[in-house]
Structure 1
Amino acid sequence: MPDNQTARIEWRDGVIPVSTQFDDPYFSNASGLEETRHVFLAGNDLPARLTGGFHVAELGFGTGLNMLALALMWEGPQMIRFTSFEAYPMAPADIATSLDAFPEVKPIAAPFLDAWAQGARSFTVGHVAVEVITGDARETLAAWDGQADAWFLDGFSPQKNPELWGDDMMRAVGAHTGQGGTFATYTAAGHVRRKLADAGFTVTRVAGYGRKRHMSKGTMR
């Protein structure tokens, strides 16, 4: 995956952005925000675990919806951290159009949209300090010196974007997870679950959102 290339998208039904690089939508056809809450927030037992300094990391920033859902959930007053890895950042106008589908997040999205339009990749939304690291995650995650308390594994599907779900990537996720840290992902693909288990997680398959029968979550052993 080349570094720092802008995402190329087309619009499904005028509201759902679809990556033409990976032929995959950025969020659920039904309700992307509710899917985020089910998969990534509840899947990591949030907000119950949140406390000042808690660090969430993510593979696949996309529209920023997961980050905004986290910021909407966390009212502080202490700050938490959010680091996301994205190879193909979306254009500001495309993100703004995408978020029109979610009126609930629009009131808190302005600082993010303003910062993104100015080219900033580090900014604050509510009580969340955000950093988006652009480039090939196979390189940028390996070079990262951070440790996450929870992971949102939200890359495009393993079938469409296998590089982001490879052995080395899942081992890197494990290596950058703190003691007792967790992950959650919409995919229940057996090869992904096995790689995460090999990376040190106790992996569980649980009920997915909507028409997706299963998803995966886990805790670092």
Structure 2
Amino acid sequence: MDKAQTDRTLWRDNGVPVSERFDDPYYSLDNGLAETRHVFLEGNDLPARFVPGFHIAELGFGTGLNLIAARLAWREAGVTGRLRFTSFEAFPMPPEDALRALSAFPEVAELAEDTAALLADPSQPLIRDDIEMQLVVGDARQTLPLWQVKADAWFLDGFSPAKNPELWGADLMAEVARHTAPGGSFATYTAAGDVRRALVAAGFDVTRRPGYGRKRHMSTGKKT
């Protein structure tokens, strides 16, 4: 992997990884796995909507915790076949840092090595009995318009809009909508007004919901 494309990871005293480039933690200071389940799974009404061939897309791969949480939910739901998962990430975390971050959640240990393998060589999709995962490296403003697939659910998980505005702009949110299947959904931890307005303009029916932990609100929506 081209090291120039990676983001250096800093570590807080409580073990939470922080992006040096964006000065923002990769997940909640309270409990990253619980946050993922609250925001991205429940926010997209998952696993209730899972069907064979269900496709999740994501802006911001980070540690891979969202992928693992979705994969665990897929297994527990007992859906046949593979969950499809595509993540767009400009600055992949070094795999050794991902393993260190994921070690904070013992229940994901079984799947952490797969996530590290994907980060070690993003050019190769990760295919297992239960998952087909593709990590698309590069600026999502350039890579998403070239994508030929529509997702059933989106995890919008870039760093804070205040610190990483490029991943929340109106043009990119329009591309998210264009790459969402009819009746598809999104969920995100942010309730920033600019982001919500961009998603409404893109064609989503947006709802503000209670957030996780220290975040009072989050946003969800369905393509109208």
TM, length-normalised to structure 1: 0.95
2:46 partner SS: coil
Q: What amino acid is the match of 2:180?
A: T
Q: What amino acid is the match of 1:57?
A: A
Aligned match for 1:160, one of 160, 163, 172:
163
**Cα 1:166–1:144 shift into 2, 3 Å:** same
**Gap regions ≥5 residues in structure 2:** none
Kept in 2, the 8 Å contact 1:4–1:135? The answer is: no
1:47 partner SS: coil
Aligned match for 2:127, one of 116, 119, 124:
124
2:87 partner SS: strand
Q: What amino acid is the match of 2:187?
A: A
Aligned: 1:6 with 2:6: yes
**Cα 1:77–1:187 shift into 2, 3 Å:** same
| Cα distance in structure 1, aligned partners of 2:15 and 2:129 | 26
User: What is the count of residue pairs matched by the alignment?
Assistant: 219
Q: What amino acid is the match of 2:52?
A: G
Aligned match for 2:100, one of 97, 100, 111:
97
Kept in 1, the 8 Å contact 2:56–2:85? The answer is: yes
Aligned to 1:66: 66
| Cα distance in structure 2, aligned partners of 1:69 and 1:81 | 13
**Cα 1:153–1:12 shift into 2, 3 Å:** same
After superposition, where does 1:7-156 map in structure 2 within 5 Å?
A: 7-13=7-13, 15-75=15-75, 76-118=79-121, 120-124=123-127, 127-156=130-159
Kept in 2, the 8 Å contact 1:108–1:125? The answer is: no
Kept in 1, the 8 Å contact 2:173–2:202? The answer is: yes
TM superposition shift of 1:118: 4.9
**Cα 1:126–1:18 shift into 2, 3 Å:** farther
* Structure with the bigger percentage of helix: 2
Kept in 1, the 8 Å contact 2:92–2:119? The answer is: no
| Cα distance in structure 1, aligned partners of 2:186 and 2:93 | 24
1:183 partner SS: strand
RMSD: 1.5
1:104 partner SS: helix
Aligned match for 2:208, one of 200, 205, 208:
205
TM, length-normalised to structure 2: 0.94
Aligned: 1:175 with 2:161: no
| Cα distance in structure 1, aligned partners of 2:118 and 2:212 | 31
**What fraction of aligned residue pairs are identical, expressed as a percent?**
58
TM superposition shift of 1:46: 0.1
Q: What amino acid is the match of 1:154?
A: D
TM superposition shift of 1:126: 5.5
| Cα distance in structure 2, aligned partners of 1:90 and 1:121 | 16
